[in-house]
């Protein structure tokens, strides 16, 4: 599971994450929600050891990410799908990741097939559409067959068929007993995908509830309405609109 304890991240300009505590349990899809600027991406980056917390801890299977042996086999993550070497092919991208964790060619072929990328395996990254880059990012997250999956805005750039595919994939992985955390701005999709929600605003925990309980607790007729009722005061407005 993922355990976040009193996690805090301060910058010179303010506090991005403020004494945040929650647990993501296996066997269900947990949606990670919050307005723009709420601290979701910073939290995910601290869970994955990409940012160092000012205070608190983030653990995966009881260990910080930096202490995981062959981390791709423990946790798979989709963050910025477009962050690819432009001249590498899809297969070369996965091969580079696989070698760093002692994984073989067979597993590369399996995840290419599972994500619908087999036919595009020889295409260079700069020629891939955004949707194909998203699928390649998911393939990379699945590469080590991990028990924990963290997917940040996984349906960006996907067509309706791809959106349904991601939804079913997340549910299937959770049904296998894995820990699945999905961050998204699409309330309609989270309502169909997530069994449990962790909602933050201005870096603080606002809710940690099963999805149905969250909707009823916030007097909403649907998830989007309940989310807006809870988080309206947490939206940060700056010049040009909300961040």
Query: Do both 67 and 89 map to the same domain?
Result: no
* Contact (Cβ atoms closer than 8 angstroms) between residue 171 and residue 29: yes
* Contact (Cβ atoms closer than 8 angstroms) between residue 20 and residue 206: no
Structural element, H or E, at residue 11: strand 2-11
Maximum pairwise Cα distance, the chain: 51
> 24 forms bridges with which residues in the sheet?
2
* Contact (Cβ atoms closer than 8 angstroms) between residue 119 and residue 98: no
Query: Do both 16 and 34 map to the same domain?
Result: yes
Query: Do both 67 and 184 map to the same domain?
Result: yes
* Domain membership flag for residue 241: no
**pLDDT at position 234 over 70:** no
List the CATH number of the domain containing 196: 3.40.50.300
**pLDDT at position 81 over 50:** yes
Range of the domain at 140: 83-145
Number of separate domains in the chain: 2
Asked which of 127, 145, 163 is the last residue of a domain, the reply is 145
Query: Do both 26 and 132 map to the same domain?
Result: no
pLDDT for residue 25: 97
* Contact (Cβ atoms closer than 8 angstroms) between residue 223 and residue 192: no
| Residue 34 C-alpha from the chain's centroid | 13
Where does the pLDDT of residue 66 fall: very low under 50, low under 70, confident under 90, or very high at 90 and above?
very high
Query: Do both 152 and 51 map to the same domain?
Result: yes
What would the mean pLDDT of 217-225 be, rounded to a whole number?
89
Task: Report pTM.
Answer: 0.91
Structural element, H or E, at residue 139: helix 130-142
| Ranges 20-29, 114-123, 229-238: which has the least confidence | 229-238
Tell me the per-residue pLDDT of 85-113, one tens digit each, with 9 for 90 and over.
889 999 999 999 999 888 889 999 999 99
Asked which of 119, 145, 171 is the last residue of a domain, the reply is 145
Query: Do both 93 and 139 map to the same domain?
Result: yes
What would you report as the CA-atom Rg of the chain, rounded to the nearest whole angstrom?
18
User: Helix, strand or coil for residue 102?
Assistant: coil
């Amino acid at each position: 599971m993922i355990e976040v304890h009193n996690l805090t991240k301060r910058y010179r300009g303010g506090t991005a994450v403020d004494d945040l505590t929650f647990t993501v349990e296996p066997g269900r899809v947990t949606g990670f929600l919050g307005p723009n600027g709420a601290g979701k991406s910073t939290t995910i980056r601290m869970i994955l050891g990409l940012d160092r917390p000012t205070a608190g801890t983030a653990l995966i299977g009881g260990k910080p990410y930096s202490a995981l042996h062959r981390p791709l086999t423990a946790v798979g993550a989709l963050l910025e799908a477009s962050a690819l070497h432009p001249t590498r092919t899809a297969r070369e991208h996965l091969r580079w990741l696989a070698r760093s964790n002692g994984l073989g060619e067979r597993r590369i072929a399996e995840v290419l097939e599972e994500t619908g990328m087999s036919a595009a395996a020889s295409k260079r990254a700069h020629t891939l559409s955004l949707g194909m880059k998203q699928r390649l990012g998911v393939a990379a997250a699945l590469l080590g067959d991990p028990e924990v999956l963290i997917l940040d805005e996984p349906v960006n750039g996907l067509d309706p068929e791809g959106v349904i595919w991601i939804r079913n994939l997340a549910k299937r992985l959770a049904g296998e007993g894995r820990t699945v955390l999905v961050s998204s701005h699409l309330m309609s999709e989270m309502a169909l995908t997530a069994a449990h929600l962790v909602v933050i605003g201005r870096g603080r925990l606002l809710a940690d509830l099963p999805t149905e309980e969250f909707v009823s607790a916030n007097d909403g007729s649907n998830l989007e309405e309940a989310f807006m009722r809870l988080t309206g005061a947490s939206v940060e407005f700056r010049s040009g609109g909300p961040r």
